[in-house]
Amino acid sequence: MDTAILIALIKVISTILISGIIVLRTIPTINHIARSKGLLNAPGERTSHRYKTPNLAGIAIFIAACVSSLLFIYDYFEFFRPIYLASVIIFFVGLKDDIVLLSPWKKLLAQFVAATLIVISDLRFIHGFSVFGVNYFDETASIILTICFIVGIINAINLIDGIDGLAASIGSLILGIFGLFFFINGMYSWSFYCASLVGGLMAFFLYNVFGLRNKTFMGDSGSLLLGLSIAVTTIMFWEANADKTLPLTFLDAPAITFAIIIIPAFDVVRVFFYRIVHRLSPVSADRNHLHHRIVDIGFSHFQTSMILTALNVLMITIAYGLSFFWGTIWISLILIVLMILFVAIVNKIYRKQRKKATTTISQNYS
């Protein structure tokens, strides 16, 4: 193995370990402070937990990601500066919402500001990969598309953070794949960036899913930060695939990209249209997300998270396999149809169980 590659690999592993250790060590302290100050997330109609739980683990994830990544990204700090600045804005807006609650519109404004900072740094969608005949996006279209995409993914990740383990597992999968891609292509600074989040998410997952005395949620400070990180790495993955001089690129990069982020992306679009059709506010809260339906069928939070993570892996595998035979549009359509079928099956089981439960209650009262 080349010495440079070996050193980079050691740095990646070190980044994951340092980030994970920081999260493991800081969450108990953060939880103690949250309980002493009464900063707890209370159970509600949309939530699935029974007890008041600290929801400030995003602080630990943020600190871990910053510290562990900056140890090895310092040579490229000028490039990453706008990303860190946008992350700071998103983090503190999410943290304020975790503590005192912000209106959805104020959070949305902050997301647009963060997305604009990313675009100003010139990290944006440029190549169209000949999808619908578009080879390159003009500057205006590129800016609008990039800002809307970043805001959309931030909210998509925020919305899947509704049950234990889901945001952490899906986030780790997505960032892990991107990190591996960047590493293979010698884009080591980006692989360090991904590793800094994966390590923190894996450590958080243990407290979030299996924690008893130190159970915690990442809160909006964590989920918004995670969403922004996934958005910027997705854009970088997309654009890197246009450089055919790299060792590894995908011919149907848009379809592969869609497959990688399909769980949060599909769910946010599905719920958005559901709310519009039923004349509800697009930012209103409900329990119509796919993960809520699976939990309501009878699966645990952990089981539901693993089902959806496995589904994400399956979609990526299918997309990669089909890329040898069909183009981006056909692959994307097939993935959408498969997701619709999965949702239809889940909804059918859900309605059947609700009908059975209603019938049982009626018989008990008759």
SS3 128: strand
Hey, what amino acid is at 118? Answer: I
Q: Are 264 and 160 in contact (CB under 8 A)?
A: yes
Paired with 40 in beta bridges are 54
Determine the pLDDT at residue 234: 98
Confidence check: pLDDT of 86 > 80: yes
* Model pLDDT, residue 47: 59
Beta bridge partners, 134, equal 131
Match 């949702």 to its residue by tokens.
343
The tens digit of pLDDT for each residue in 213-233 reads 899 999 999 999 999 999 999
144-169 average pLDDT score: 96
User: Once rounded to an integer, what is the mean pLDDT over residues 91-95?
Assistant: 97
Q: How far apart are CA 140 and CA 104, in angstroms?
A: 27
pLDDT at 69 over 60: yes
Give the list of residues 6+ apart from residue 351 with CB closer than 8 angstroms, or none.
Answer: none
Lowest mean pLDDT among 193-202, 236-245, 274-283, 317-326: 274-283
**Per-residue pLDDT at 35 exceeds 90:** yes
Q: What is the residue whose two structure tokens read 């399956």?
A: 314
Q: What is the pLDDT of residue 168?
A: 98
Share of the chain above pLDDT 90, in %: 80
**What is the predicted pLDDT for the residue at 42?**
80
The mean-pLDDT minimum among 53-67, 123-137, 164-178, 345-359 falls in: 345-359
Beta bridge partners of 306: none
DSSP letters spanning 153-200 = HHHHHHHHTTSTTHHHHHHHHHHHHHHHHHHHTT-HHHHHHHHHHHHH
Q: How many whole angstroms separate alpha carbon 11 and alpha carbon 66? A: 15
Rounded Cα gap, residues 208 and 164, in angstroms: 6
Q: What is the helix (H) or strand (E) element at residue 130, kind and residue range?
A: strand 127-131
Say what the pLDDT of residue 77 is. 86
**Range 306-331 average pLDDT:** 96
pLDDT of residue 280: 78
Kindly state the average pLDDT of the residues 1-17. 93
pLDDT of 206 reads 97
Q: Residue 361 pLDDT more than 70?
A: no
**b or e along 207-217 (b: 16 or more beta carbons within 10 Å of the residue's beta carbon)?**
bbbebeebbbb
Q: Quick one: CA dihedral 74, 77, 80, 83, positive or negative?
A: positive
- Res 48: pLDDT: 60
Cβ proximity of 114 and 86 under 8 Å: yes
Residue 91, pLDDT > 90, answer: yes
132 pLDDT more than 70: yes
Identify which of 244, 236, 109, 96 has the alpha carbon closest to the alpha carbon of residue 174. 236
Q: What is the mean pLDDT of residues 182-192?
A: 97
**How far is 72 from 355, CA to CA, in rounded Å?**
56
> What is the overall mean pLDDT for the chain?
93
Residue among 232, 170, 221 at smallest CA distance from 61: 221
Q: Which amino acid is at 280?
A: L
